[in-house]
Structure 1
């Protein structure tokens, strides 16, 4: 009997169709796994969106959750073109009069006009030019002139010295190949004044350096001079800190004879902005939860649980100080569940006792912001509720993948078995059909038998 190379050819059975139908039934568990995978993936995505919403809410809450974060101060100047002011940590509050008599300057010196081909030194091995910055002899730069150098070469030696203590050299080119060497301290003030000296056969008179600053030879005049509330002070920098506790001011222009006012106060406007932002973040967070109710988390009680926990925090009075409820600072929950801010009430509370407002939010044990931030940690922290749910779903997807691989391997075995079985059946049916055809042919060739009927 010939071998059947293609199932169904011998018998006429649609073996491939039969096997495909059977395998479709066998693959139904895979389809169910895929449906579950899509459900889990959608839930993970929804949890991710919820975690992002919680993170945004917590970020706003955290800005109110520490007392130091609410110790916000502002400094204002009556003439910011002359002096700018910045309040830093725990400044002295009040108004201060300031007069700027002089700005701090960088010390500048210029040589006389010298031909660009003229050289200096080269007469003795000890020939050198020394530039000291400030009063410390350790801050001295030495230009080796044992080999004669032009002004340009001296400039390069100064600027490229790895131990340069804080001086920059430039060349100014004039007419008829004349040049001047300009020396300038990198920082302002008398502490950075330049002092020149020489050794060997070098003569300073050959350079004839002159100070460009209008200080009359008195390097102390390189310091800024200003008066605060009648107290005259000097500073090597135009940025001054420490004169008023917690305050830094920048001297921008001298204005002799005119006093300007620096005012340092609590920045209630910025605290108000933080409270307004808190209310906005709460409403955005609540909207994000509501959006999930019609999505993949529609049957998940976690949304209701989160809402109830937040509501519990907001409704429980704080024992942090004279203020105990959010309504006392103008925050209230409306009928639709949103949070509103009464700016008039908030501003009145800030003007009356900003420290009490700060404690209402930021008290470490019982402030509203502190409690809400801790609550958010319980949702999205490493072992938080939402994080754990997400981790659990990812593990279930991994388990589905393992089951899918196992099922697919088994399906290969099942399909191989089906093909073997139906190939055998196909061959058997084909054999029966051949036998049937043979018998039919043989019977057709038998002589016909006639019978006589008696009348």
Structure 2
């Protein structure tokens, strides 16, 4: 029995193996062998061994806190620098304000550099229309070049119709006299006529007409014009009415763009070919069209007028010209004549040009006078047929628009802008060479009820609905000219009125025109109106013509603009006089918007309504005072921080992190010194003020030396002599004085320099100290880890020994328990 028991005993006892786990990285003290938690013992030993590391970490935190403090102080000093920079010059210190005697008419915004003063702003009311022709070489130039007897020039203005008999061969001066005589006889005082010399080299003399009636009612229109002078932005006019018994009224629409390079004046002769006297819109007939340049036939064509022609609808001729006829009669063989003008682009004025010839071509489609200035920006040789270099010219016009033209071929005209073209003779273009081209539009000054800038708005005569009926039953093109640029839109068959508006608005080439559909509410077959509205104010942003070739469903193509459209609102410039300028009666400064920013330096006048207002520019004392207060508050904010960071607390709880730091005391001293010393360059007895204390700014010993402002004293000083107060703060180059704001700005700029600034140098040094501490901490961490490993190994051996002893103890105890005499009975 005993053997059997002993066999069991020895089979269950295991001596710990040699690989018990001496390697410290895998040792885990369970306490099972010894009954002791050696992990806790080792942790406590390591903690005691880490005292030096803890001291280093505490030391590092202290330096980090000092750096943080210095960074915060730097930010505050930069705040002083910023506040000082905002008031260290006269323009910055002397904050300006503008007030208006009639803010409903005009107001103004100003910058601090504006000079104090009062400006009278007069926004025009019922401004008079001034119409100016393109130029000719001299007052004796022939401006009535046509064959046959006298023809009639018909002028309408202010409800008056003036018919001027013009004989062939009349000079510019004679034409002026003819018009004056007709006005005197038919509508005395209705029109002022004179000749103007614009001073340019090419065609400087212009015929000018000014209406006597102001506003839109005084607009001058020329319905018949046999002269060589374009007097309408459409660049076309009826030269001679029917030659026979025909009674159909003749209308013109569109905008003529025949090329100047072909002819300066195109003469279109329309002759009826019919079965006799026929009714327009009832019987079909043809119009034979012959186009002449003087006596030279340029082309011929035929226009068929069908029996179902709708009176007033546009009949396309060519080059943007459309005619329309009323529903009266025309007779076989009768004719009428229309002139198309391409005389609104002058020859180039060569300036510094060193190249060969510059030829102008095209037809200007804009609606305001301009000068295009060209400069060679990429030099190069150009030749007939191209193949050499590509030269580039940059152009800028007098409205501020700009662009470039790339030229390679001396035989080719190149598009510039708004219908203007250029051709350069074979030459080598030289960088910097310049020339100019003047272009003209008849409306020198529009007749406006209000002298305010507004957008162009044109309205169609109307359509049956907006979402059901198609505007065209076949694929077609809708075109409009805006700001001298023509936009073409392809319209698929079946599109409705609202879909057409959507296509116009979504067109990638749309320059800003907005299309909309309105219902006039009258319930008529034409109650739905397509409206085109320009996106920009100013006379140059006119919607000047509209056309389409829609078929079916009667989408009208009549109207003064063509395409069924008439002008609802002209695009206009603002009209204003500033302090009586311009001095000429009825002549105004014109701007494309309702702001005038380039007449008085640093003052922008905002125009709101007609009338007169006085704009007063003065120093804004309240704002100046606020800036001074903000400056002093920033100083106090900084000084308070310095006091907090260097404070001594006997109890130690609130002692500043940088107590005893000499740099902080120096910085505070330099800030105080910038404010409390007299201003260099200002002299007692000569200058009103030389110290800040004289205007109520000083330190308060009862408030730890904070700077205080006596608001009453400061306000009185600013009201009595703001310039003298300014001299305390600004740099005055006349007096060679350096005020406290300028002085403080220079100090703070120096003290906060990223490389040499006092605190930035210290921060760099402190970061170096922290780097060294980090190295020591790293070294300590390695030493402590080795210490931990040694302790783990040491206690592992102890654990192993204790486990062996414990096992032996259990075995002996078990054997004793099994001895005879110890068995239970």
Q: TM > 0.5 between the two?
A: yes
| Cross-structure match for 1:367 | 739
Structure 2 vs 1, CA of residues 68 and 24 (structure 1 numbering), >3 Å: closer, same or farther?
Answer: same
Q: What CA distance in whole angstroms lies between the structure 1 residues aligned with 2:803 and 2:509?
A: 101
| Cross-structure match for 1:357 | 725
Structure 2 vs 1, CA of residues 249 and 355 (structure 1 numbering), >3 Å: closer, same or farther?
Answer: same
Long gaps (5+) in structure 1: 214-218, 433-455
| Cross-structure match for 1:335 | 701
Q: TM-score, normalised by structure 2?
A: 0.45
Q: What CA distance in whole angstroms lies between the structure 2 residues aligned with 1:428 and 1:150?
A: 102
Structure 2 vs 1, CA of residues 48 and 157 (structure 1 numbering), >3 Å: closer, same or farther?
Answer: same
Q: What CA distance in whole angstroms lies between the structure 1 residues aligned with 2:642 and 2:78?
A: 13
Alignment match of 1:404 (pick from 769, 773, 777): 777
| Cross-structure match for 2:98 | 75
2:57 is the alignment partner of 1:34: yes
1:8-23 map, 5 Å = 22-23=45-46
Deviation at 1:50, TM superposition (A): 2.4
Structure 2 vs 1, CA of residues 91 and 120 (structure 1 numbering), >3 Å: closer, same or farther?
Answer: farther
| Cross-structure match for 1:246 | 602
Alignment match of 2:679 (pick from 318, 321, 332): 318
Deviation at 1:250, TM superposition (A): 1.5
Q: What CA distance in whole angstroms lies between the structure 2 residues aligned with 1:11 and 1:153?
A: 94
Structure 2 vs 1, CA of residues 112 and 20 (structure 1 numbering), >3 Å: closer, same or farther?
Answer: closer
CA deviation string 1:269-322 (max 9, x = no partner): 322221122222222222222222232112322221111222222233222444
Structure 2 vs 1, CA of residues 421 and 86 (structure 1 numbering), >3 Å: closer, same or farther?
Answer: closer
> Does the 8 Å contact 1:320/1:363 carry over to 2?
no
> Does the 8 Å contact 1:121/1:145 carry over to 2?
no
Deviation at 1:349, TM superposition (A): 4.3
| Cross-structure match for 2:759 | 386
Structure 2 vs 1, CA of residues 39 and 122 (structure 1 numbering), >3 Å: closer, same or farther?
Answer: same
Structure 2 vs 1, CA of residues 363 and 12 (structure 1 numbering), >3 Å: closer, same or farther?
Answer: same
Structure 1 stretch 276-285 or stretch 41-50: which is displaced more? 41-50
Alignment match of 1:59 (pick from 62, 77, 82): 82
Q: What CA distance in whole angstroms lies between the structure 2 residues aligned with 1:184 and 1:89?
A: 38
| SS of structure 2 residue aligned to 1:317 | coil
Q: What CA distance in whole angstroms lies between the structure 2 residues aligned with 1:200 and 1:426?
A: 106
1:116-195 map, 5 Å = 116=465, 117-120=469-472, 122=474, 128-134=477-483, 136=484, 139-144=485-490, 149-173=495-519, 175=523, 178-195=527-544
| Cross-structure match for 2:70 | 47
Alignment match of 1:223 (pick from 573, 576, 581): 573
Q: Aligned residue pairs: how many? A: 420
| Cross-structure match for 1:439 | none
| SS of structure 1 residue aligned to 2:622 | helix
Higher relative contact order (CA 8 A, sep 6+): 1
Deviation at 1:19, TM superposition (A): 5.0
Q: What CA distance in whole angstroms lies between the structure 1 residues aligned with 2:638 and 2:88?
A: 18
Q: What do you get for the CA RMSD once the two structures are aligned?
A: 3.8
Deviation at 1:85, TM superposition (A): 1.1
Alignment match of 2:790 (pick from 417, 429, 432): 417
Structure 2 vs 1, CA of residues 12 and 205 (structure 1 numbering), >3 Å: closer, same or farther?
Answer: closer
Structure 1 stretch 168-177 or stretch 379-388: which is displaced more? 168-177
Q: What CA distance in whole angstroms lies between the structure 2 residues aligned with 1:169 and 1:20?
A: 83
| Cross-structure match for 1:264 | 617
Deviation at 1:76, TM superposition (A): 0.5
Deviation at 1:167, TM superposition (A): 1.8
> Does the 8 Å contact 1:320/1:359 carry over to 2?
no
| SS of structure 1 residue aligned to 2:564 | coil
Deviation at 1:110, TM superposition (A): 1.1
Deviation at 1:424, TM superposition (A): 6.0
Q: What CA distance in whole angstroms lies between the structure 2 residues aligned with 1:199 and 1:19?
A: 97
Q: TM-score, normalised by structure 1?
A: 0.78
> Does the 8 Å contact 1:268/1:350 carry over to 2?
yes
Deviation at 1:106, TM superposition (A): 1.4
Long gaps (5+) in structure 2: 1-13, 21-28, 126-449, 582-586, 648-654, 806-825
> Does the 8 Å contact 1:62/1:369 carry over to 2?
yes
> Does the 8 Å contact 2:92/2:112 carry over to 1?
no
| Cross-structure match for 2:460 | 111
Higher strand share: 2
| SS of structure 2 residue aligned to 1:23 | helix
Q: What CA distance in whole angstroms lies between the structure 1 residues aligned with 2:478 and 2:792?
A: 100
| Cross-structure match for 2:117 | 94
Higher helix share: 1
Q: What CA distance in whole angstroms lies between the structure 2 residues aligned with 1:357 and 1:92?
A: 17
Q: What CA distance in whole angstroms lies between the structure 2 residues aligned with 1:241 and 1:89?
A: 15
Q: What CA distance in whole angstroms lies between the structure 1 residues aligned with 2:497 and 2:32?
A: 103
> Does the 8 Å contact 1:73/1:264 carry over to 2?
yes
